[in-house]
Structure 1
Amino acid sequence: MFHIFLLPEMKALIYITTGMVANLVILFYYMPDIRVKPKEVEAVSTSISNDWWIIVDAVNGQCTDVSALTKQVNWRTVVVVDKYQPVLDCKSPMCLQLTWDYVRTEMSHFSTTGLLDGPSKLSGFLYAIQNGATILFDADCDTRLDNITDSFHLLNDQQSGLWYNGTNSFNPFRHWGLEDVFSLESKQSNNLSTSSHQDIHDFIVTDVKSLPIRQGVIVSEKTCFQRSKSNTGHKHLFSQKTPIVSGFPSFAPLSTGPAIFLKEAFLFLFIPPSVSSESGQLFRSLWMHALRSICNLPIAYYPEPLLQQSGSQFQCAILNDNNGGASATNDPVSECMPMQTCSTADVACYFMIAQQILHCMIPFFASFTNINKLVAYTEAWVRDMVFLRCHRTHVYNVPSGILNKIHYQIPHQVKKFTNLSQKETENVFRSVNSLCGIKQDQKPKLVRAMSSPQVTDVALIVVMNYKQVFQSLGFTEFVHRLYFKYIIYCVPSFSGFESYTEKEDMTHITYIDGVADGWEFFYRCTEIVMKLRMPVQGYLQIGDDVLLSPWNLASLPRNVMWVNNQRGKVHLHKIQTSFAWEHWNKEYGQRAIVNVFHEMKAVANSSSVKKPRVADFSRAFLKNVAENLGADYVLYGNTDIFYVPDRLSREFIVAAELFFRHRCMTEIALPVIHVGLTKPDQIVYIPGVVLWGSNRSVSWRYFRNDPSAFIHPFKWLSLSKKKEGRSFLCNKYLHLLEAKIIH
């Protein structure tokens, strides 16, 4: 079969396909830089960037107000209309109405235009691209965002977050724990995939440099709808500030709401005209997924709260809410994804795959759909993308470097504790019940506390340094689950902890492999959790042998550092022959911290730094250390409990990565980081007890109800076997723990 493309100003574009497998591509063409502008934007100042464009469709729905879009700084808006109509705040030069008459007369050089029967969003995309767009925002007219640029992290050259690289589907509803609230939409999402199973073990926490497609997960007001009067799902909605990235081969629906497309992903803007929104989105998802095998194209999902209006009375669906299309069938459509692969330059193959998908999707289209015309639309779009030099996709590398596995259950955790019949409730009660016994009339109160924990603005990170302390998990869960909404365990062996939790049937918890390199570097636990950007004001890290009095933490300010006062001071370059602190003369002690400061000073004084953020960080860090301690002095000491406010998370991540790169151990790294990130008046000393020597074997004797917030160490496994230790736990500590919750 022969296809010959003859485009205006192009000498020839020929491709030959034989059957559905072999193909040969020959491209010879010249492409001028054509930029045609409607009258509304002819007078645009040259100082205004044409790079970022918002495209909305006012043809298929009422669109009388785009003020929420035109207020976006550095964005231009195109409203696709049949003919001019009153649209609030659509004013030249930052907003224009693209009429069907203009498209027919001024954009006839596009192949897509020649096939359209009327106004289409595709024309809006083409108009923006020919006028220099590098980023396109595909949105509904009534999409409400405070700041598109911030919501989709467009100014960040590198982002941290979750990467899902499983072999099955990525279901946004399951990920955020919303299957019960959005059961229909979740089922639809499953139907788009090869399997309804999403493997929670296939998440990693990592850094991602390029995200060419960024999906929002709240669509707009018109796709939100009132849920049941009880609104039971509302309190379980989980907000998170970082994207979840799905990489190939996992299937991810490209249909969850307003989306950002960078230039290298413009090819996937195409949705066949004249089909239902759902069917069109399904085609887009399938086509993109089939071509992801070429380039490992990642898709980022930006979580619901970023796009939710404050004070909204609605629960909002993630997938577009419409009638017909794929929702009419329960059959998965995995067979509609062709198995062959293409090269990044094989335009013929791109179209061939699209053609196969469209024919396979016939059962999903309305009976009157002209499938041949849909094929022609797709061919025309590919032709226009070649014309605009937007047909080549980049090959993206999967994340490399430090990859931290995570068993990610945070959005689901609180929902696991709503009644006594749930297995999670009984499993968490089991250890304490066997030690002390829990009265039947106490259990409902405890369950209520776990379902609505008091501390919702602090993420608790519990470090379990060794495999042998896994057995204390039951006690740790019971104590902390009563108070903290967000709990993450940082463990030395991901597979070992996974096996233990499965054996104990405690798979509801979230854990990361943050101390695989040893407890000496457990500051990385907080660094990794910070990359999740949870909806908290700060991060509290403790060792598994820290006994908290959580009721005494409530009054501590959330916007400052918390540390204990067990600190010593030493000169950075002083040789210590007889030093009480055993770690100073080891590889991870003085030598490591000297190397850290050497790198920071070199970066801070360099005029040609590739990463200005690191240079700015180093200058500020060194200045704070000099002012807080004196030049070339550092601190060392116990760090089994500390807190970092979220406002310092970006700086803490940079510091932790730097200190770990030089293998600087935690008992010098953390004290130095604390004084390097902030001023002394921004540090609070946590009231508590740190025990040494023989006192550690009788830790309970040093417990103080007020104002002490912790004891370290308190070894659950050994002390609970002693008569006095057991009596303290059962008759004093656990009783007080419950009493403070109730009152």
Structure 2
Amino acid sequence: DKWIVVTSLSSPTSDIYYLANITGWKLLVLGEEKTSNWSNVNCHFLSYNDRENELFTIKTLLPKGSYSRKTLGYLYAIVNGAQVIYATDDNYRPTDNLTNFNLETMEFGMRYSGQNLFNAYSHFGQSSIWPKGFPLEKISDQKSLNYHVGKFTTPSIQQSLVNGDPDVDSIFRLTRKMKSEHMNVLFDSVAPPVIVPSGVLSPFSSQNTLFLYDAFWALVLPISTSFKGSDIWKNYWAQRLLWEIGGNVGFYPPNGIRKRNTESHIEDAKYESAFYSRTSKLIEFLQNWRCNVELKFFKCVVKLSEQMYLNKFWTKQDVHVVKVWLKDLNHFGYIEPSRAPYVFPTTSNTTSEHLIRVVYKPTEQKQSQMQASKSILQSKWDQVLGITSFCNLTRYQITTKSLASKTYPNILLIIVFNFPIYDNIPYLQLMYGVKFSHIVYCGNSLEAYLKSSKKLRFSVSFLEVDVHRGYFFEKCLSVAMKMNHKVKGYLLIGDDTLLNSWNIPSLPLDKLWFHQHELLLRDKSSGWHWWNKEMGNTVFNKTWEYLLQQSLTDPSKEQIINSYMTRLEKATGSNLGLYHGASDIVYIPIRFKSQAIYLFDVFSKHKVFMEISIPSVVFGLDDKANIVNLAGQYLWYDGKREHVPELFRADQIFLHPVKL
């Protein structure tokens, strides 16, 4: 029930054969009038004169040679049982076998919380680039860094970005690209996907884009506007209509590289002139348009299409195409989405969802030709200059080898503050920014962070999480995981944990890392004083009973819970066993993400102290023999904290605490 739809003017390319062999997907190639007939065991080929086309009323409205004829391919896939449709071109090859997209009903993720417009290219690390169809007069506007993390309905339309030569307009190509060279734009492949909420618009084409069943109506293509712009404006139209069914658009990290032939950008600019002059008016019109709450969804689709014509964004023929398209969909059994009328935001209807406020600063990527970015703070040399300035009383030698040291782009570093001492962020960024390209800071107060951030020369990512004076670090770890960075693992440290990052290459990224741990028994008292506190024995036992009950009543959690309890019993040697231990540093590989999120959330809900919850979760995720014991030191209240310089060891992973 998963279909790939492309059009082709020629014999099958190597990219077509690649698409045909993606496991679990059916490929439909729609031929044009001059396309030779061909066949492939893994492919449906629909020729220009194929009689199956005659079943579709809309065929008579689609001009020969028009890109809008791809509508026939979409309809063919729908008639043949498609539940998911991936739209792309015959010259593009996704390198991930389409695993980048999300087909689940709900997902943890990050949702933009700015207003009106969203630039997906900026989110993925190219702040000076704009997608085709983005209003030129809005390019230099201040970009919001405000997001929410939570559990959301999976976006009905999902676009994965492409590296190399993405969809940009001819103004960009004329001013930012060397004429004789191919573009080589690189987006951040680690950045988290983002959901664009109702009320916000973002331009995108239908190339390398996934449509879920409830968005199939949005696959229709207008016939009057030029190929250069029709798809973009149509998708603006589709986004506004998604708001009426509670749907959203989502953008995902790049999943391949596109190269294009050199084209006449001057000619393109002429074709795109309507883009430059009228897109802002289209956006304003769409954001102000309303559909009567009593109308069903397809009536809203028709009403908006008619208004697009009356406001001269579409022609009367486009409206007719939409009406016939909807009739074809109804005739062949497509189920019209249920209406959930969009409520325009006011000060009295702000969201009541349980969401985490986030400031997300994209990691700036290498710029394309003829560009220079002033916002790339984390170059090696900038870092060296910062450190030498800060440590100006110390003598040391900078070698070529030290400048070429290893970095960790596949680890998300999470730094948690017990208390809102956010003025220390510049020093932490100075120490770790050169090694870790993706860092998030976490603490109790976003307002306190924003106040401190006014003193910074740069922005960072920040999660507002109540860690209750440092008792619940695992809450930050769970929220950071829910952002969905495409990393190999998550490394959490306290803001007063000194991390010797040069030793990390010796550690396996597919294994759990932890330090010391001690055995506790659920039915026994302990000399460890935290076990007898309100965050200890009593709440842990309540958590355990909750997990047992969930394993019996929630089939979706049964395997996670049973596996967890079995491994923890094996590790401790007792069905009453658990662990406690200092937890100011821990690493969770990506393969344990879903289990860790669930378990940490349960322990957080019951307010279990992190020095119980973190080690007890870690040793319930994998066999004890597979867990890496981190070399490091915790300095307690026995006088050692006064002798940090003497106790520091460069060959260890960490030292705690080191107060800045």
- TM-score, normalising length from structure 1? 0.75
Report the equivalent of 2:198: 248
Deviations 1:522-555 (A, max 9, x none): 1122222222333432222111111222223332
Given that 1:158 and 1:210 are in contact with CA atoms closer than 8 Å, whether structure 2 keeps it comes out as: yes
Aligned ranges for residues 29-68 of structure 1 at < 5 Å? Answer: 51-59=1-9, 63-64=12-13, 66-68=16-18
Secondary structure, in 3 states, of the residue corresponding to 2:505? coil
**Rg (Cα) greater in structure:** 1
Deviations 1:410-431 (A, max 9, x none): 322899xx99998899998999
Report the equivalent of 1:676: 620
> What letter is aligned with 1:462?
I
**Among candidates 347, 352, 358, match of residue 406 of structure 1:** 358
Work out whether 1:172 is the aligned partner of 2:153: no
- What is the distance in 2 between the residues matched to 1:245 and 1:470? 28
The structure-2 alpha-carbon separation of the partners of 1:477 and 1:690, relative to structure 1 and needing over 3 Å to count, comes to same
Report the equivalent of 1:624: 567
Report the equivalent of 1:734: none
Report the equivalent of 2:276: 330
Given that 1:192 and 1:282 are in contact with CA atoms closer than 8 Å, whether structure 2 keeps it comes out as: no
Aligned ranges for residues 235-384 of structure 1 at < 5 Å? Answer: 237-240=187-190, 242-255=192-205, 257-304=207-254, 307-308=255-256, 325-326=271-272, 329-331=275-277, 332-333=280-281, 334-337=283-286, 339-343=289-293, 345=296, 347-361=298-312, 371-384=315-328
237-246 or 295-304, which deviates more: 237-246
Work out whether 1:464 is the aligned partner of 2:417: yes
**Among candidates 199, 208, 211, match of residue 155 of structure 2:** 211
The structure-2 alpha-carbon separation of the partners of 1:419 and 1:260, relative to structure 1 and needing over 3 Å to count, comes to closer
Given that 1:55 and 1:79 are in contact with CA atoms closer than 8 Å, whether structure 2 keeps it comes out as: yes
Report the equivalent of 2:511: 560
**Among candidates 66, 72, 83, match of residue 134 of structure 1:** 83
Given that 1:536 and 1:646 are in contact with CA atoms closer than 8 Å, whether structure 2 keeps it comes out as: yes
> What letter is aligned with 1:609?
D
The structure-2 alpha-carbon separation of the partners of 1:202 and 1:232, relative to structure 1 and needing over 3 Å to count, comes to farther
- What is the distance in 2 between the residues matched to 1:116 and 1:422? 48
Q: Give 1:696 deviation, angstroms.
A: 4.8
- What is the distance in 1 between the residues matched to 2:341 and 2:476? 28
**Among candidates 69, 72, 80, match of residue 30 of structure 2:** 80
- What is the distance in 1 between the residues matched to 2:366 and 2:91? 33
- What is the distance in 2 between the residues matched to 1:229 and 1:126? 39
The structure-2 alpha-carbon separation of the partners of 1:715 and 1:179, relative to structure 1 and needing over 3 Å to count, comes to closer
Given that 1:462 and 1:541 are in contact with CA atoms closer than 8 Å, whether structure 2 keeps it comes out as: yes
The structure-2 alpha-carbon separation of the partners of 1:475 and 1:253, relative to structure 1 and needing over 3 Å to count, comes to same
Deviations 1:110-137 (A, max 9, x none): 2x22323337111112222223222222
Given that 1:561 and 1:683 are in contact with CA atoms closer than 8 Å, whether structure 2 keeps it comes out as: yes
The answer to which structure, 1 or 2, has the higher relative contact order (CA under 8 A, 6+ apart) is 2
Q: Give 1:166 deviation, angstroms.
A: 2.0
Q: Give 1:280 deviation, angstroms.
A: 1.3
Report the equivalent of 1:603: 550
Deviations 1:559-612 (A, max 9, x none): 2222122x22111122x2xx44232123321122212222333333x3x6342x
- What is the distance in 2 between the residues matched to 1:564 and 1:484? 21
> What letter is aligned with 1:457?
N
Deviations 1:307-344 (A, max 9, x none): 215xx889999xxx966544565332324425222436
Q: Give 1:70 deviation, angstroms.
A: 1.4
Q: Give 1:245 deviation, angstroms.
A: 0.7
Secondary structure, in 3 states, of the residue corresponding to 2:154? coil
Report the equivalent of 1:118: 64
> What letter is aligned with 2:599?
A
Work out whether 1:551 is the aligned partner of 2:502: yes
Secondary structure, in 3 states, of the residue corresponding to 1:505? coil
The structure-2 alpha-carbon separation of the partners of 1:476 and 1:117, relative to structure 1 and needing over 3 Å to count, comes to closer
Deviations 1:235-269 (A, max 9, x none): 96311375311111111224263211122111111
Report the equivalent of 2:392: 437
Report the equivalent of 1:691: 635
Q: Percent identity?
A: 21
- What is the distance in 1 between the residues matched to 2:535 and 2:438? 32
Report the equivalent of 1:71: 21
Aligned ranges for residues 340-739 of structure 1 at < 5 Å? Answer: 340-343=290-293, 345=296, 347-361=298-312, 371-387=315-331, 388-395=333-340, 401-412=353-364, 436-437=391-392, 454-467=407-420, 469-502=421-454, 504-565=455-516, 567-574=517-524, 576=525, 579-604=526-551, 606=552, 609-611=554-556, 614-630=557-573, 631-716=575-660
Q: Give 1:83 deviation, angstroms.
A: 4.8
- What is the distance in 2 between the residues matched to 1:252 and 1:419? 23
> What letter is aligned with 2:157?
I
- What is the distance in 1 between the residues matched to 2:642 and 2:167? 60
Q: Give 1:84 deviation, angstroms.
A: 8.2
- What is the distance in 2 between the residues matched to 1:552 and 1:571? 35
Q: Give 1:221 deviation, angstroms.
A: 8.4
Q: Give 1:77 deviation, angstroms.
A: 2.3
Report the equivalent of 1:5: none
Deviations 1:377-405 (A, max 9, x none): 22322333343444435539999754222
Deviations 1:89-128 (A, max 9, x none): x435752324345255x315x2x22323337111112222
The structure-2 alpha-carbon separation of the partners of 1:219 and 1:131, relative to structure 1 and needing over 3 Å to count, comes to farther
> What letter is aligned with 1:288?
A
The structure-2 alpha-carbon separation of the partners of 1:231 and 1:671, relative to structure 1 and needing over 3 Å to count, comes to farther
Deviations 1:486-507 (A, max 9, x none): 22111111111011112x1244
Report the equivalent of 2:146: 202
Structure 2 unaligned spans of 5+:
343-349
- What is the distance in 2 between the residues matched to 1:340 and 1:235? 38
Given that 1:169 and 1:193 are in contact with CA atoms closer than 8 Å, whether structure 2 keeps it comes out as: no
- What is the distance in 1 between the residues matched to 2:52 and 2:213? 22
Given that 2:132 and 2:203 are in contact with CA atoms closer than 8 Å, whether structure 1 keeps it comes out as: no
Over the aligned positions, Cα root-mean-square deviation in angstroms equals 4.0
Q: Give 1:463 deviation, angstroms.
A: 0.8
Q: Give 1:688 deviation, angstroms.
A: 1.4
Q: Give 1:508 deviation, angstroms.
A: 2.0
Deviations 1:670-692 (A, max 9, x none): 01011100112211221112111
